[in-house]
């Protein structure tokens, strides 16, 4: 049995109809934001190569995410590419979020303690 989650196809990935049912799965999950307008494609997307972020040496680490959180991560990655022509992978996004989140651990500690109660 594979531990790798099945990622949705394009049709179900961008479908907005199932977000309400996915949000009702667990009371601790945060519902996905619904886009108020369709994403805009930069005019220069076809002319210039995608922007990339240089990545230094890394260590392999395994994180387990809920399907909803994984979907939000993928949507954000796609949004960066479509709206800002920035091509990054999930690891680069998580690396940045961890770096920013661990600068000031007090809010992080408060949030984790609140979830534990």
Per-residue model confidence as pLDDT tens digits over 3-29 = 777 777 766 766 655 444 544 555 555
Give the number of other CB atoms < 10 A from CB of residue 88: 19
Q: pLDDT category, 112, cuts 50, 70, 90?
A: very high
Per-residue model confidence as pLDDT tens digits over 59-101 = 899 999 999 999 999 999 999 999 999 999 999 999 999 999 9
Distance CA 52, CA 50 (A): 6
What are the helix (H) ranges across the chain?
10-13, 19-23, 67-84, 90-101, 105-116
Instruction: Report the pLDDT value the prediction gives residue 19, as an integer from 0 to 100.
Output: 47
CA dihedral 12, 98, 37, 49 (to 10 degrees): -90
Q: pLDDT category, 115, cuts 50, 70, 90?
A: very high
The reported pTM is 0.56
- The structure tokens 């920035």 sit at 86
């Amino acid at each position: 049995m594979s531990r790798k989650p099945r990622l949705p196809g394009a049709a179900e990935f961008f479908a907005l109809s199932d977000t309400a049912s996915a949000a009702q799965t667990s009371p601790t999950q945060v519902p996905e934001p619904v886009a108020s307008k369709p994403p805009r494609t930069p005019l220069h997307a076809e002319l210039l190569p995608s922007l990339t972020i240089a990545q230094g040496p890394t260590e392999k680490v395994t994180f387990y995410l809920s399907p909803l959180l994984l979907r939000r991560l993928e949507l954000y990655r796609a949004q960066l590419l479509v709206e800002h022509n920035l091509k990054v992978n999930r690891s680069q996004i998580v690396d940045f979020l961890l770096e920013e989140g661990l600068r000031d651990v007090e809010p992080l500690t408060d949030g984790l303690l609140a979830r534990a109660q």
